[in-house]
Amino acid sequence: MSAAFVIISILTLAAALAAATLPKLMHAALSFAVAFVGLAAFFFLLGAEFVGLVQIFVYIGAVAVLIVFTILLTRRDVEKDRGFNWSGVVVAIAVFGGLIWAIFKTQSLSVAAPGMSVLTVKHIGEVLMTGYVWPLLCVGLLLTAALVGALILVMEEKR
Amino acid sequence: MTPTLQIFLIVSSALFCIGLLAALSRRHAIFILIGIEMMLAAANLNFIAFWRFSPEPHQPTGVMVAIFSIAIAAAEAAVGLALVISVYRHYRTTNVDQFDQLKG
């Protein structure tokens, strides 16, 4: 097994676990960003460089910053201690066991990667503008609607 | 030895379960959103891994699905965080246990 894979998976899973369990919200948000850097490294490792870059731009550039801003805007409430629901841990471990069982039971999954040519951004752009143009338009509409909806949600109400 | 598909699936299911843990056991609304984002990202990793290990990786179907999924996750995060801010204005808290106005 390659060393890069081991390092990236340990980094990603440790950062994700920290994001899920750290008591301070700001620390959790920053380890969330680290976990997504690790995930982007996975995408690079798998040969999907464009998706890795999109992941870095969208998650670290936009979503993590948005989360940090929300934490700062709701700060008065952040410091209070919260209960931790242990039944969630039981459910998560049970789901993990089920998934691991299913993965190891399926024999056809233990394949090595086939050799491949590089997937260029040019090719992705061509496919996006020909075969996937209808989903692309729908996603554009969805993003516009979601951002307008988010603006309306946080606007001050007129009394 | 290069990593096989199984190992990527194990990592992504671990990531999914950490997200599930965050979404189920934390009482803070922002933590629940972080957990949901993590579960979506684990699904993205699955899409990319299955695309890479498929017999014909020159067709970028998995990459396309992952890109659209990232866009939808970004929209979800924007609306979710707007909801958190809007609810915080009314209740002065972000603890999901205290959002019980609609409880029957």
- Ranges of chain A with pLDDT below 50: none
pLDDT of residue B104: 67
Judged by a CB distance cut-off of 8 A, whether residue A109 touches chain B is yes
Contacts of B2 in chain A (CB under 8 A): 1-2, 112-113
- Report the Cα A130 to chain-centroid distance in Å: 27
Burial (0-12, 13-18, 19+ Cβ within 10 Å), A107:
exposed
Counting every residue, how long is chain A?
159
Burial A64-86 (b: 16+ CB within 10 A, else e): bebbbebbeebeebeeeebeeee
Judged by a CB distance cut-off of 8 A, whether residue A146 touches chain B is yes
B82:A153 CB<8 A: yes
Q: How far is Cα A6 from Cα B3, in angstroms, rounded to an integer?
A: 9
Contacts of B3 (CB under 8 A, 6+ apart): A1, A2, A5
Q: How far is Cα B22 from Cα A158, in angstroms, rounded to an integer?
A: 36
According to DSSP, the residues that pair with B95 across neighbouring strands are B28
Domain assignment present for A71: yes
Structural domains present in chain B: 5-96 (1.10.287.3510)
Report ipTM for this prediction: 0.88
Q: How many domains does chain A have?
A: 2
Question: Same domain, yes or no, for A13 and A74?
Answer: yes
Domain that holds residue A123: 118-159
Please report, for the domain that includes residue A26, its CATH number. 1.20.120.1200
pTM of the model: 0.89
Domain assignment present for A158: yes
Contacts of B83 in chain A (CB under 8 A): 153
Considering chain A, what percentage of its residues have pLDDT values greater than 90?
43
